[in-house]
Amino acid sequence: MPLFCANFAIRVPHALIHSRRSNFISNHVASSFLLFLDSKKSIGSSKPIVSLSKFNQTHHCSSTMEDQNQLVLTSSEPEKYSKELEVAVRAVQMACLLCQRVQDSLVSQTNGQVQSKDDNSPVTIADWSVQATVSWILTEYFGSENVSIIAEEDVRSLSKADSSGLLEAVVKTVNKCLSKAPQFGHEGPIKDLGTSEVLEAISRCNSTGGPTGRFWVLDPVDGTLGFVRGDQYAIALALIEDGEVVLGVLGCPNYPMKKEWLSYQNGYRRIMSKLTPPTSESWEKGCVIYARRGSGKAWIQPLLSGDKKFLWPNSARQIQVSSIDNPAFATFCEPVEKANSSHSFTAGLAHSVGLRNQPLRVYSMVKYAAIARGHAEVFMKFARAGYKEKIWDHAAGVVIIQEAGGVVTDAGGQPLDFSGGTYLEGLDRGVIACSGAKLHEKIIRAVDASWNSSSL
Ligand SMILES: Nc1ncnc2c1ncn2[C@@H]1O[C@H](COP(=O)(O)O)[C@@H](OP(=O)(O)O)[C@H]1O
Ligand SMILES: [Mg+2]
C-alpha cells in the first residue's frame, strides 16, 4: 500500500511522536512525520523508517493543523524529490555560511590560503570544507549505501606530506560548520570529525556519473577565482537520475541587493564595504535558489542570518525569468575570464541580434541565478575549442532556469546532456541560456550565421 494516498487525513497523538530533538517538533511536525515515513524508502530501501530525528520538514503544498493533544494532518501525494530538495537546500545554506567565513578571512589575510591544482586553477580550504560538509550531511541523512556523489575536488593535494596545515584548517572549518547543524535543523556529529573522517567525506565523492541511477553533483565553490577575489561565487548541488537533472540548488552568498552590483567591474567588495552592514532582516544580499524538475516553479530564500533557526521553507518566494524578449532591452551575461569564454565572439553575436546593453560579466553559476531571478535575459558561454564543460558547472543552474520559465541548450539547440559522466558530452559549440524561446532562437540563428568566420 502506498504510504501516501491522495487527500488523506491522519491523526497522530503527540505521544506517538518520539524525537531525539524534541525542539524539532513544531507546528510543522505533521508534515515532517509524513515525509519522513517515506524517507529512506524513496531512495532504495524497502523498509520505511519512522523517525523524526532528522530535519524538521514541511512541504510547499502540504497543510497542517495542530491542537493541544493531537495533530491533524492532511496531505496530497508528496512531490517527488521534495525530501532530497529540502536536505540539499539546508546543506547549501550551511555551506554558504562556511564560505562567507572563509572568504572574509581570505580577503583580509591573502597569504597561503589559496592553492593551485594540477591544472593551475585555484582551490581554497572552502572548496574541500564544503565538499566534506555536504558529503557528510547527505550521507548522514540518506545513508552511505544510498548516496553517490560526483564533485569537483579530490584529496590528492590535501593528503600530501607538506599539506598538514591545510588539512588541519579544513578539518577545523568543517567542524565549525557542522557545530551549527542544529540551527539548520540537522543533527551534527556527536563529536568533532577527525582528519580521517573529513578525508573520507571528501573522497567518497568519487562517483563517475553516467546514464543510469541516481547521483548528486556538487561544485563546492564554483567560480573560485571570484571567491578569492572577494567577488561572486556559488555553491552548486544537483541531483541527477537516469541522466536527467531532477533538482538543483544554488547558493549565492554574495548575490547583491541591487542587480547592477552583480557586475565584476563594479567591484562587489568595494561597494559592500561602503554600505552599512545589512540588518538581520534584509534578505536581498545572498540567497539560495532551487527548483525541482517538472514543478514549473523555482524558489529563492534568504541566507539564514544571525542565530535564527532555519524553518523550512525559510520565507521562500517564487522567482521567474524576465519577460523581456526584445534584444534591445535585454542584458546578457558571460564569464569574467576571457579564457573561459570568448568575449569577442559573444560581442559579435550580441551586436548581430541587437543586444545593446553592456555584457554583465559575473563569476560562476551566479549567472544562471541572475537569469532565473529575471535580472538578466541571456547567458552565453563559448569555451575554447577542446575544452570540455563539466557537469557540475551547469547541472543546478540548468534545471533552475528551466523551472523558472527559461530555456537552456547548446548552440545547436539541443538540451545539455548530463548522462555522459564528468563532462557534457556532445556539447555543440557552447551553452546558451535565455529567459524565453524568442531570444533563444535569435541567438541560435546568430551563432550559426557567424560561427564559420569565428576563430573558435
Ligand atoms: N578554459 C576554460 N574554459 C571554460 N571554462 C573553464 C575553463 N577553465 C575553467 N573553467 C570552468 O569555469 C568555471 C568558472 O566559471 P566562470 O568562468 O563562469 O566563472 C570554473 O569553475 P570553478 O571555479 O569551480 O573551477 C571551471 O570549471
Ligand atoms: Mg565550477
Q: Which ligand ends up closest to the CA of 360?
A: 1
Please tell me if the CB atom of residue 124 comes closer than 6 angstroms to any atom of ligand 1. no
Stretch 343-361: mean pLDDT: 96
pLDDT for the residue numbered 111: 56
What is the distance in A from the centroid of ligand 2 to the CA of 253? 15
* C-alpha to C-alpha distance for 347 and 352, rounded to whole angstroms: 9
Contact 26, 48 (CB under 8 A): no
Span of 64-73, 85-94, 246-255, 444-453 with lowest mean pLDDT: 64-73
What are 301's strand-pairing partners?
288
Half-sphere exposure of 398 (CA within 13 A, CB side): 24
Q: Which of 30-34, 94-98, 169-173, 349-353 has the lowest mean pLDDT?
A: 30-34
Neighbours of ion ligand 2 (CB under 5 A): 219, 222, 393
Q: Whose CA is nearest to atom 3 of ligand 1?
A: 340
The amino acid present at 82, given as its one-letter code, is S
CA atoms of 22 and 36, how far apart (whole Å) = 15
pLDDT tier at 324, thresholds 50, 70, 90:
very high
Instruction: Give the mean pLDDT of 256-271.
Output: 83
Does residue 274 surpass a pLDDT of 80? no
pLDDT, one tens digit per residue, over 202-234 is 999 999 999 999 999 999 999 999 999 999 999
Q: Distance (Å, rounded) from C-alpha 238 to C-alpha 397?
A: 9
pLDDT at 120: 61
* 208 is known as an active-site residue: no
- Give the pLDDT score at 60: 43
**Which residues are documented as binding site?**
152, 219, 222, 393
377: phi > 0 → left, psi -120 to 50 → alpha, else beta; which? Answer: alpha
pLDDT in tens, 358-403: 999 999 999 999 999 999 999 999 999 999 999 999 999 999 999 9
Contact partners, residue 127, CB within 8 Å, separation at least 6: 152, 153, 220, 221, 224
Instruction: Residue 246: name the closest of 115, 90, 82 by CA.
Output: 82
pLDDT given at position 4:
30
409 is known as an active-site residue? no
117, 128, 222, 363, best to mutate for ligand 1 pocket (most atoms within 8 Å of CB):
222
Judged by phi (left if over 0) then psi (alpha if -120 to 50, else beta), residue 350 lies in alpha
Q: In this predicted structure, which of 57-61, 176-180, 243-247 has the lowest mean pLDDT?
A: 57-61
248 Cβ below 6 A of ligand 1? no
Residue 163's pLDDT is 87
The answer, yes or no, to whether any atom of ligand 1 lies below 6 A from the CB of 397, is: no
Q: Which residues contact 401 (CB under 8 A, 6 or more apart)?
A: 298, 321, 368, 371, 372, 407, 408, 433
Domains for the chain: give ranges and CATH numbers.
Answer: 8-75 (no CATH), 82-306 (3.30.540.10)
Give the pLDDT confidence score for residue 110 in this predicted structure.
Answer: 57
pTM of the model: 0.84
Query: Does ipTM surpass 0.90 in this model?
Result: yes
Ligand 1 mutation pick, 250, 268, 393, max ligand atoms within 8 A of CB: 393
